[in-house]
Structure 1
């Protein structure tokens, strides 16, 4: 749990650096925070609606994977589009993409660690 919190803090630090460094001074990349909050929602809803998320392939599970993939790709594409149009600099784009990768890997790690409902906490 501590490692997940630390890696999320590192990812958000990359995002803030991409916005706040004196050579960038542009806060438009902070809009990727919406994608951070939206990305786990389809999976959480699908796990709630589906009886067996891991082994069964249902339409609900497939739709949640599709929506989550779209959200993650949008979060990675937003800084590239902003840099391509000249709204932000390419250095800021690199820092925001690095932050995105770290934060989304942290979210993925959270679902791997805490996604198993059969986990017995007394064995730790």
Structure 2
């Protein structure tokens, strides 16, 4: 990836268009938002693959993220709690194992172990 300085931050071109990154939320994505989005996005992608491999029917997955930051240490991300809302059938007795596999196989979550505490919960809707 190549990043170029802009008036309000930096920018990179992706296959989906330009990605603007800025400390000013009105001018682009803030770096911490991209970090949290990477954790959530990777987790959902891995979960979908696991569900598909197990041939489980899922209509929808939504995830919310609660972020704890430390203002005394450059506003570093200390903890991210991901909560998954999953709409599907026949998942009741399988989700604990699926959550375990999701965490184990998500490269973004594995990359921050020891730096950011990532916790995950789910509910079936």
Fold conserved between structures, TM > 0.5: no
RCO comparison, higher one (Cα < 8 Å, 6+): 1
TM-score of the superposition, structure 2-length normalised?
0.29
Q: More helix per residue: 1 or 2? A: 1
